[in-house]
Amino acid sequence: MLLLLAIATRASAQIKTIVTEPITISKNTYYSSEIEHSFAFGDSVTIHAYKKKSNKYHFLVETADYANVISCSNIPFEATEKMMKKLPNALSDEARVLRQKLQNDVENRKRESQKKKAFAGEVWTTVSSSYSFTPVSGTDYKLKNGDVVYIVGYKGETTNYQYALYSTNFAGIYRTTSNKYIFSKDMDTRYLPSIDDPDVQQFLAEKQREIIQREAEAKMLYRGKALRGEVMGVLSYGTPEPIESHASNYESGDTVRVVGYSKVGDMNYYALYSDYNYGTFKSSRARTSTFKNDSEIDFDRLPAYDDPEVKLVLKQQGVIIDSVMQVRLAESQRRLEEVTANLIQAYKENQPFIIHDIDWDSDSAGGIELSVSITNCTQQTIKYVTFNGYFKNAVGDKCRNEIGGGTVWTAKGIGPIGPCPSSFENSSERINDCEGRYNFDNHRFYSRVAETFKLSSVTVQYMNGKTVTLSGANLDKHVRY
């Protein structure tokens, strides 16, 4: 107690001075200190104790980041020996106690300084061994090589090193089993606060709130862009499948506006529209297989595909698209009646029907699948349509069915196929009903040498029992190959 009282009484006995010549300390003779330090000309130091012994000058000095007893062959300070003789004995027991206190103060200052630097974002590096890090708390973000990280806390034990890290998009505690080669540069963690420091915990919590708030704002801005149709992407080979009946398939290379997105299980759902198509689509393929330049679309910030505002945008686009398609079909709204009249006249001129969009293909066994469309150009409803035709080989001879023989391909389609428009008033409701499309994929004809196909006759049976058959030259006038 008396010793501490003496130190406290004499603590005010100190000299603040300037270094007049460089000093390098590698090891202190009296205290076996391994701390290396150097003083440059002009450095400010405080001398707390002094003693001359064996032609050596001994000083208990303190700076902002150093405190110890140093020994010199001269006095390298702007202070005279007469001034320093008033100081306590630098080699005494009480000086030892004072030295320890000063060193503790220096350590505390270093920790506070490093803490301020860490909280100011001045302690940073890049990750060079991402697989070594495991998130412990506060985040599930997986570090990647090259990530810039800011270190605000550290706690190290054997094979268990924990860092309090943050960046622009995460903040939390990470654990690693090694503290070597995990960062791009060696990090001095001695003076960093512990990860358990309340200030560190509060700092991380604030960063997490900032990240959440920033992400919410960014998501809201991106939502606005999407709803305004400003988020665009180019579809790749894995184009998604339309969900609603009004939507049609897109093709690879089509540019679409991406309004919404959700991942449910293994399925990706998209809300898309273009100049001619709109709706919700689904695909089990990865987003990178569905869209080219996937990185240009921030799917995680898009609103959900079934969000009410997204649905409203699609509905509005549907009205626009439907209107545009009607205009394209009729050339213009002002000429719709004229176009309808021309269409009705075309139906009359092509009675009883028009055959079109004939397409066929064969598999490896020679089994032929054929599709064909028919437009009813009468005011009667078609009940059945019977198609007869034949295939020719490369030299123009008719092909024989490899199963069963014969040269005739025949197939029967079931209606109803409604009457064609007869006036402007009923054109919109009949325009689609008078079209029939048949896909005959149950093989009726087998040939490995078929090159061309020609219809030989078409028989139409109406609901009233009447039948009409066209063949030869009469049929050719009504077929659009």
pLDDT tens by residue, 343-394: 888 888 888 999 998 999 988 888 999 999 999 999 999 999 999 999 999 9
Measured CA to CA, the distance from residue 356 to residue 369 in angstroms comes to: 16
Q: Please determine, for residue 11, whether its predicted confidence score (pLDDT) is greater than 80.
A: no
Which helix (H) or strand (E) segment is 477 a member of?
A: none
Q: What is the pTM of this model?
A: 0.54
pLDDT one-digit tens code per residue, 417-444: 999 988 888 888 888 889 999 999 888 8
The residue written with tokens 């000429």 in the block is 335
pLDDT at position 205: 95
pLDDT one-digit tens code per residue, 158-185: 889 999 999 999 999 999 998 888 999 8
Residue 394, judged by CB atoms within 10 A of its CB (0-12, 13-18, 19+), counts as exposed
Measured CA to CA, the distance from residue 186 to residue 199 in angstroms comes to: 24
pLDDT at position 273: 95
Percent of the residues in the chain that have a pLDDT greater than 70, as a whole number: 93
Give percent helix, percent strand, percent coil of the chain, each to the nearest 5: 30, 35, 35
**CB of 413 within 8 A of CB of 438?**
yes
Task: Kindly compute the dihedral angle of the four CA atoms of residues 326, 332, 335, 338, in this order, to the nearest 10 degrees.
Answer: -50
pLDDT at position 338: 78
Q: Please determine, for residue 332, whether its predicted confidence score (pLDDT) is greater than 60.
A: no
Measured CA to CA, the distance from residue 345 to residue 422 in angstroms comes to: 9
pLDDT one-digit tens code per residue, 279-317: 999 999 999 889 987 668 999 999 999 999 999 999 999
pLDDT one-digit tens code per residue, 203-230: 999 999 999 999 999 999 999 999 999 9
Reading the block at residue 202, the tokens are 């509060």
The residue written with tokens 């079909």 in the block is 329
Measured CA to CA, the distance from residue 159 to residue 22 in angstroms comes to: 42
**CB of 151 within 8 A of CB of 123?**
yes
Measured CA to CA, the distance from residue 358 to residue 381 in angstroms comes to: 22
Among the listed residues 167, 175, 164, the one whose alpha carbon sits nearest the alpha carbon of residue 126: 167
Helix/strand/coil for 294: helix
Among the listed residues 14, 52, 59, the one whose alpha carbon sits nearest the alpha carbon of residue 37: 59
pLDDT one-digit tens code per residue, 396-413: 999 999 988 899 999 999
Measured CA to CA, the distance from residue 464 to residue 410 in angstroms comes to: 24
Measured CA to CA, the distance from residue 275 to residue 257 in angstroms comes to: 9
Among the listed residues 480, 441, 438, 476, the one whose alpha carbon sits nearest the alpha carbon of residue 457: 476
What are 280's strand-pairing partners? Answer: 271
Q: How confident is the model at residue 329 (pLDDT cuts 50, 70, 90)?
A: low
